[in-house]
Amino acid sequence: MQNKKLKVAIVHDWLVSYAGADRVVDCMHHVFPDAPIYTLVYDQKKMPEWFKDYDIRTTYIQKLPFATRLYKALLPWMPRAFEALDLSEYDLVISSCSSCSKGVITRPDAVHICYCNTPTRYIWDFYYTYRDNANPLVRAVMPGQIYKLRQWDKCAADRVDYFIANSHYIAQRIKKYYRRDSDVIYPCVHINEAPFVPKEDFYLVVGRFTWYKRMDLAVAACTKLGRRLVVIGTGDEERALRAMAGPTVEFKGSLSDAEIREYYLRAKAFLFPGEEDFGITPVEAQSAGTPVLAFHRGGACETVVDGKTGLFFEAQTPDSLADCIQRFEREGVACSPEEIREHSRKFSEARFESELRDYCERRVKDWAAELRACSHWDQQETEDTL
């Protein structure tokens, strides 16, 4: 396998928006530009224009009506869809997974590396929270399906040869639920290289309006303090967020990447109240020289340096975040915008691509050595038997 050019495939859960995990897959494709991308469903209209030049291959789920909108409701059918993908021609398969894509079947002599964004949240540690926040129909169906899905997910993890975790936080969860060791390679973040501008008197929050992002904490805290807050994003909870927002909270809707980068540059601080597996937006904010006020759990603990590039608050409550905002206004942070940006370079796209390339090369060599060792053992055992 080492004496020929490897045939590589990339497998991703779904391509329906250009969010953090999709940007990582984009960088994976930069490393392996000839690799096709296999995925459950693909919404071409919601992905960047350049994805049209990629070789993207979908499962049979793509043919179902409204599949690109209702794909999450098809969770019980996802395992079978990924197992149906024929990857037997590939020497190296890289799955980018937070759901079921790691369950693909590969050749015995092929290398399967899983870049794990998280063990499947809605069937493991976040199951009860997802269930409680689901609609009545999903709440009624979930308990009957979850046991089989957990069994399959553990079996799928056993098919992976090497795990990469996107943070040490996720490495711990991989160890907990899959009983597997993993290596950490942080995700890629586009570094904002625009010139610095004077900071303006507003706080910023960016993300999808969904329950686990906890945008409500930012809205409630800034409403309570009477601080100006700019909210960028859309989602199911928009009506509830607008209802609780005071006059100092501004909703900007969905903006382009370039427009968001402008707000990152101008904001006095970025608020990050959710518990994320890694969290790309705090790094994007720091690349603009903007301090981050983050909940002290999850991936933010590995990207924000307390007292230097940001501050932490300890409880997911409006009061705890409000106290953190007031502490920031009194004390600030130790690092300058230039130093904060320099810290963010640890998570750059170039660094990710280099580390991923080196890791794959090393693991392909490791796997080839294991295969040779097994072959030698089988030969020796045969000779001993004869």
Question: What's the pLDDT score for residue 155?
Answer: 96
Determine contact, residues 203/270, Cβ cutoff 8 Å: yes
- Concatenating the DSSP letter of every residue in 117-168 gives S-S-GGGTTTHHHHHHHS-HHHHHHHHHHHHHHHHHHHHHHHT-SEEEESSH
**φ/ψ (deg, to 5) at 314:** -95, -20
Crossing angle of helices 257-266 and 280-287, rounded to 10° = 60
Distance CA 299, CA 276 (A): 6
**Does 8-188+348-385 carry CATH code 3.40.50.2000?**
yes
Question: What's the pLDDT score for residue 379?
Answer: 54
The pLDDT tens digits of the residues spanning 21-40 come to 999 999 999 999 999 999 99
Which residue type sits at 310? G
Determine contact, residues 185/202, Cβ cutoff 8 Å: no
DSSP tag of 6: P
Q: What is the mean pLDDT of each run of 10 residues along the chain (386 residues)?
A: 79 94 96 98 96 98 94 91 98 97 97 96 80 76 84 96 97 96 96 96 95 95 98 94 97 95 98 94 98 96 98 98 98 97 96 98 94 68 50
Determine contact, residues 343/335, Cβ cutoff 8 Å: yes
* Residues 6 or more apart whose Cβ sits within 8 Å of residue 179: none
Distance CA 121, CA 118 (A): 7
Question: What's the pLDDT score for residue 241?
Answer: 97
Cα separations in angstroms, 384 against 192, 373, 374, 375, 381 = 63, 16, 15, 14, 5
Distance CA 261, CA 285 (A): 8
**CATH 3.40.50.2000 domain locations along the chain:** 8-188+348-385, 203-346
* Residues 6 or more apart whose Cβ sits within 8 Å of residue 69: none
Question: What's the pLDDT score for residue 384?
Answer: 53
* pTM passes above 0.85: yes
Question: What's the pLDDT score for residue 242?
Answer: 97
Question: What's the pLDDT score for residue 386?
Answer: 47
Can you name the residues that pair with 203 across neighbouring β-strands?
229, 269
- Concatenating the DSSP letter of every residue in 194-210 gives SPP----S-EEEES---
The pLDDT tens digits of the residues spanning 248-273 come to 999 999 999 999 999 999 999 999 99
- Closest Cα partner for 217 from 351, 366, 319, 114? 319
Question: What's the pLDDT score for residue 315?
Answer: 97
Question: What's the pLDDT score for residue 378?
Answer: 54
Question: What's the pLDDT score for residue 133?
Answer: 73
Question: What's the pLDDT score for residue 377?
Answer: 57
**Does 203-346 carry CATH code 3.40.50.1100?**
no
Give rounded-to-5 percent helix, strand, coil for the chain.
Answer: 50, 15, 35
Distance CA 379, CA 6 (A): 26
